[in-house]
Structure 1
Amino acid sequence: MRKSHPIRRAVLATAATVSGIVLLLSLKPGSGPASAQAAGGAAPQQTAAGQESPQGGSGQQTGTRTVTGDVEKTEYGPVQVRLTVSGGRITGAEAVQAPSGGLSGQKTAMAVPRLNQEAVSAQSANIDAVSGATYTSRGYRRSLQSAIDKARAASTGSGTSGSADGSGASAQARTVMGDAAQTQYGSVQVRVTLSGGKVTGAEAVQAPKGGHSGQVTAMAVPKLNQEAVSAQSANIDAVSGATYTSAGYKQSLQSALDKAGG
Structure 2
Amino acid sequence: MRRFVLASAATVSGIVLLLALKPASDPAAASAQAGAVPQQTAAAQGAQGGAAEQAGAGTVLGDVVRTEYGPVQVRLTMSGGKITKAEAVQAPAGGTSSQKTELSVPKLNQEAVAAGSADIDSVSGATYTSEGYKKSLQSALDKVKTSGGTSDSSSSPGKASATPAAQARVVTGTVANTQYGPVQVRLTLAGKKITKAEAVQAPSGGTSSQKTELSVPKLNQETVAAGSADIDSVSGATYTSEGYKKSLQSALDKAGV
- If the TM-score is normalised by the length of the shorter chain, which range does it land in? 0.3 to 0.5
Which structure would you say has the larger RCO, counting Cα contacts within 8 Å and 6 or more residues apart? 2
Between structure 1 and structure 2, the one with the greater Rg is 1
TM-score, normalization: structure 2?
0.47
